[in-house]
Amino acid sequence: MTSAEWDDELLGNLWTRRWAVYRTVHVENVVEQLQADRYRIMWRLRGVSDPIALEHDRLQAEGDFRIAMFGPLSAVCIVTGIRWSPWFLLALPLLVILIYVGVAARTEAEQSLEPPPT
């Protein structure tokens, strides 16, 4: 098969392209390299500019905490709403806001690592 025929075949079928990428690129190695770089980027940031790394850590911790508190607080609201008073169930919409703000903080933390547009 010539190079032109191979290119036509690869561009013609989605599954053939997927198969070709799967056969030529070792996805596991790429994923491992990207994960290693993700953890090393904070060390590089701390060496270059400490305030940016601290801001990223703060935003990420804030987002993680708010997202993690959603489940337990929801359970407390539901249990107290069933056992004592249904008025406690009115707090559930506030918990949705809590998880929204947590996701927004995580997003802002990831955006703080991106270089400014030129």
Please give the pLDDT value at position 43: 61
Count CA atoms within 13 Å of residue 73 on its CB side.
16
pLDDT higher than 60, residue 2: yes
DSSP per-residue codes, 54-116: HHHHHHHHHHHHHHHHHHHHHHHHHHHHHHT-GGGGGGHHHHHHHHHHHHHHHHHHHHHTSPP
Please give the pLDDT value at position 100: 94
Please give the pLDDT value at position 109: 84
